[in-house]
Structure 1
Amino acid sequence: MRIAMVSEHASPLAVLGGVDAGGQNVHVAALTGALAERGHDVTVYTRRDDPALPERVRTAPGVEVVHVPAGPPAAVPKDDLLPWMPDLGAWVAADWATRGAPDVVHAHFWMSGLAALHAAEPHGVPTVQTYHALGSVKRRHQGAKDTSPAGRVSAEAAIGRRVDAVVATCSDEVRELTRLGVPPERVRTVPCGVDVDHFRPVPGAAGPFARTRRHRLVCLGRLVERKGVDTVLRALAGLPDAELLVAGGPDPGALADDAEATRLALLAERLGVAGRVHLLGRVGHADVPALVSSADLVVATPWYEPFGIVPLEAAACGVPVVGSAVGGLLDSVADGVTGVLVPARDPDALAAAVRGLLDDPARRRAMGAAARHRALARYSWRGVAAQTELVYRSLTSPARAAERVEDRVEEVAV
């Protein structure tokens, strides 16, 4: 199959760890690579954010990244990109007119959905949407701090009713989509994945340095407030024999200028735990398995989480997770089997759950083994790509193509 991906702000080539570079970048890069390994030809369209970028980059056999001129060729916060989505869609449509239309287009994030629908309509290309995050959830948890454009929620609902299929990544998202009025028969559930070959247990790993306390906790991910690292700091006050390593954010040399890193450092000082907290900044992809494997537990306590790849990375490394009972963690962490779930933003509940596992090494080992097994069975990118391919094929079968033509004729008649 010829597959197009539209990922307007999250390039698969981006350096991870920034405010707008995280799980979606990993998802798009890994999914395209796994689909290419299955024999498909995949083109990823993303916005040009640097004038020096070439128009087209062949990243692997069967995978090409195209940098689309839509908006200024500079870094722009994703919430400010909406005005240029028609330009992105029009450019993609013109590219298909020249090079041939794909069999299916898969949009990642709601703005990409607008661009993908704009490009697909004149060519009759089936459209698939993955939101990665829903505006209704973001507004519920961030309130006035939500910087999404006005009309995001209504646009997401409209996209869900117009595309041929919506790929939800977890059961919590399915419930949210139903509330938005997206037809249930249009929604398929395919989880995010993890590279189970790269993320694997590293026996005897010390991470970036030897432990300074009896126990080690690790937090990993973008350094933004909603990830809830402050909850972990408050819990740490009641765990005197544990140290905390926080990986994510800018390069280590730039941490002093990072607002969230500064806020967390000041909070650690006030709580009296600064000597046991190590802000590592960005950790290279190659070093993450050793970092995770050096921990007794990985702690993931976001306020909300559309899916969250960190619990999968921990599971693949055979390390239990103590996490918030929100979003994708409700699926990715089997409570009591591969980790423990606690209420979000509750440091007392978090400290109690962590202490219970730190005091029971046999239970931790059993959970770690179960987590690795579950990651292999459910979350490998090879398996996720196979499930995604089934969605595509359900839309490109001759019978489904005929249905699409009939639908278009009815729309024109109306």
Structure 2
Amino acid sequence: MKIAMVSEHASPLATVGGADAGGQNVHVAALSRALAERGHDVTVYTRRECPFQPSEVAFAPGVTVVHVPAGPAVTLPKDDLLAWMPDFGRWLARRWEAAPPDVAHSHFWMSGLASLAAARDTAVPIVHTFHALGAVKRRHQGKADTSPRERVGAETLVARQADAVIATCADEVAELVRMRAPERAVRVIPCGVDLAAFTPDGPAADLGPRDSGPVLLAIGRAVPRKGVETTIRALRHVPDATLVVAGGSPGEPEPARLMRIARMYGVADRVRFIGRVTREDVPALMRAADAVVTVPWYEPFGIVPLEAMACGTPVVASAVGGHLDTVVPGVTGLLVPPRDVAALGQALRELLADPARLGAYGAAAAARARSGYGWDEVADRTAAVYAEVLASQGSAAGAFRGTGAA
């Protein structure tokens, strides 16, 4: 298959950990690579953010990244990109008219708008993954939500007009049904994890003497909704535990705010901020922790629990979004209500006091991650959705065309 992967703000080439670079970047990169390894030809379309970026970059064997000229060639917050999506869509239409892909897979709502616009003139079938929904973000962030006001309506349009929608968890399906997306067009395929990198075997980072008490790890983008404040406040209920916080930089507002909170609650001596870490360093950090704590207010999927589980590290997570699918309470870790300091403190205190339970959870977590979350399986299931869409349009033969640039 010739597959067009459209990801307007989340390039597979970006450094993960910035304000708008996170799980979607990882997802697009890993899915594209896994599909190419299965013989498909993948072209990723993302917005040009620098005048010196080459038009095309070979990302991996069988995967090319194309920088689309839409708007100024500078880095812009994703919430400012809507005005440039018509240009993005027109550029895609010209490209696809000359060399149509068999299927396009758009990621995030603005990519969906651009892809649907391009498909009007080219009849390219569109499969869409939202990664996050505006209605959920608005519900939890209220006035702090900086999304364009058109977002919720645009997402409803994309959900109803795409040939298929791939939800990453069951909770998202319920949200899509509330948007009146046709249930027959929705498929659930989780995000994947790199099982070669995230494994119980391998080096562990040095997070201090092992006899100085248990170590908890919180890792992710430095934004309030990730819930690190809840974990810091819960430390009062977890004597002797140290919390290592990875993500963000010293000059950013969120780490400074969290340190003030740690001092306010008398736990600053047990909280360590290590700043932004590379993707290559994450597995070693997770292996070094007694438990990974990830308690966001909401989470479309949540890759952190899955990566920790693959490393054989128990997870204490908030009972939201994809966490409800990946974390099995009492088997691979624990789920707690979001923003509930007392519940989180009790869960951590009881878990850390039971080394046998920690070990059992870790072993079960690693087995669960290996059983259905590798990118190979995710790619196979995604390609099956592409083939199903093509077949439903009477174009099943398109799935077996020769390769070529999309």
What TM-score comes out, normalization by structure 1 length? 0.94
Q: What aligned pairs does 1:82-161 form with structure 2 within 5 A after superposition?
A: 82-98=82-98, 100-161=99-160
Map of 1:180 onto structure 2 = 179
Map of 2:44 onto structure 1 = 44
CA displacement, residues 302-361 of structure 1 (integer Å, 9 cap, x when unaligned): 000000100010010000100100011001111111110000000110010011110111
> CA separation of 1:118/1:236 partners in 2, compared to 1, >3 Å: closer, same or farther?
same
CA displacement, residues 13-39 of structure 1 (integer Å, 9 cap, x when unaligned): 101111111000000000000000011
Select the residue among 364, 368, 377 that pairs with 1:370. 364
Q: What aligned pairs does 1:3-402 form with structure 2 within 5 A after superposition?
A: 3-98=3-98, 100-202=99-201, 205-207=204-206, 209-211=208-210, 213-250=212-249, 255=250, 257-397=251-391, 399-401=392-394
> CA separation of 1:212/1:143 partners in 2, compared to 1, >3 Å: closer, same or farther?
farther
> CA separation of 1:273/1:113 partners in 2, compared to 1, >3 Å: closer, same or farther?
same
**Contact 1:3 1:41 (8 Å CA) reproduced:** yes
Q: Secondary structure at the match of 1:396?
A: helix
Q: Secondary structure at the match of 2:42?
A: strand
**Contact 1:207 1:293 (8 Å CA) reproduced:** no
**Contact 1:215 1:296 (8 Å CA) reproduced:** yes
Q: Secondary structure at the match of 2:308?
A: helix
d(CA) in 2 for partners of 1:239, 1:41? 51
Q: Which amino acid letter does the alignment assign opposite residue 305 of structure 2?
A: P
d(CA) in 1 for partners of 2:140, 2:352? 30
CA displacement, residues 137-181 of structure 1 (integer Å, 9 cap, x when unaligned): 000000010011112111111111111000000000000000011
Q: Secondary structure at the match of 2:198?
A: coil
Map of 2:399 onto structure 1 = none
d(CA) in 2 for partners of 1:212, 1:359? 14
User: Deviation of residue 400 (structure 1)?
Assistant: 2.5
**Contact 1:202 1:290 (8 Å CA) reproduced:** no
d(CA) in 1 for partners of 2:26, 2:189? 16
Q: Which amino acid letter does the alignment assign opposite residue 349 of structure 1?
A: A
Q: Which amino acid letter does the alignment assign opposite residue 345 of structure 2?
A: A
d(CA) in 2 for partners of 1:267, 1:42? 46
d(CA) in 2 for partners of 1:121, 1:7? 19
User: Deviation of residue 228 (structure 1)?
Assistant: 0.3
User: Deviation of residue 50 (structure 1)?
Assistant: 1.2
Q: Which runs of 5+ in 1 are unaligned?
A: 404-414
> CA separation of 1:344/1:387 partners in 2, compared to 1, >3 Å: closer, same or farther?
same
> CA separation of 1:52/1:323 partners in 2, compared to 1, >3 Å: closer, same or farther?
same
> CA separation of 1:35/1:290 partners in 2, compared to 1, >3 Å: closer, same or farther?
same
**Contact 1:207 1:292 (8 Å CA) reproduced:** no
CA displacement, residues 168-215 of structure 1 (integer Å, 9 cap, x when unaligned): 000000000000110100100000000011001146724355458310
d(CA) in 1 for partners of 2:199, 2:309? 9
User: Deviation of residue 297 (structure 1)?
Assistant: 0.3
Q: Secondary structure at the match of 2:101?
A: coil
Percent identity at matched positions? Answer: 60
Aligned residues: 396
Map of 2:404 onto structure 1 = none
Q: Which runs of 5+ in 2 are unaligned?
A: 397-406
d(CA) in 2 for partners of 1:197, 1:24? 20
**Contact 1:201 1:318 (8 Å CA) reproduced:** yes
d(CA) in 2 for partners of 1:142, 1:60? 37
Map of 1:409 onto structure 2 = none
**Contact 1:218 1:247 (8 Å CA) reproduced:** yes
Higher relative contact order (CA 8 A, sep 6+): 2
What is the aligned-residue RMSD (CA, Å)? 1.3
d(CA) in 1 for partners of 2:126, 2:210? 50
Q: Secondary structure at the match of 2:115?
A: helix
What TM-score comes out, normalization by structure 2 length? 0.95
User: Deviation of residue 402 (structure 1)?
Assistant: 6.3
User: Deviation of residue 97 (structure 1)?
Assistant: 2.6
